[in-house]
Amino acid sequence: MNKLLNKMPLLAFMLAAFAALAFSPKDSAMNYYAESGGQWYALSGIPPGPVTYTCDDHEDSVCLYDGVNGNPINHGEDKIFVIRGTLPPAD
């Protein structure tokens, strides 16, 4: 019993480390990209809106990607990327 009690601080530390990693926000460091007419745009830090871009409903389309020619974000959402203003091209 004493052996188990001696290891309690270690177990508490491991549980706290697991919880910190498991419940931290995942999207905060993610980069967003979109494609329109063969041109890719870097959208990280640019909120959607009437003067930037929108993701409008469109069947069998993808609006945002995690990189140029990358994987779709929210696959199956059926949204299409629409440019509403000037956006920076992706490098």
Domain holding 59, by residue range, is 27-83
- 63 occurs within a structural domain: yes
- 50 occurs within a structural domain: yes
- 1 occurs within a structural domain: no
- 9 occurs within a structural domain: no
pLDDT of residue 76: 77
- 51 occurs within a structural domain: yes
pLDDT beneath 50, residues of the chain: none
Q: Residue 76 is encoded by which pair of tokens? A: 């199956």
- 43 occurs within a structural domain: yes
Q: Which residues of 29-58 are buried (b: 16+ CB within 10 A; e: fewer)?
A: eebbbbbeeeebbbbeeeebeeeebebeee
Round to whole Å and give the CA distance between 53 and 86: 9
- 13 occurs within a structural domain: no
Report CA 67 to chain centroid distance, whole Å.
10
- 17 occurs within a structural domain: no
User: Number of folded domains in the chain?
Assistant: 1
| Whole-prediction pTM | 0.64
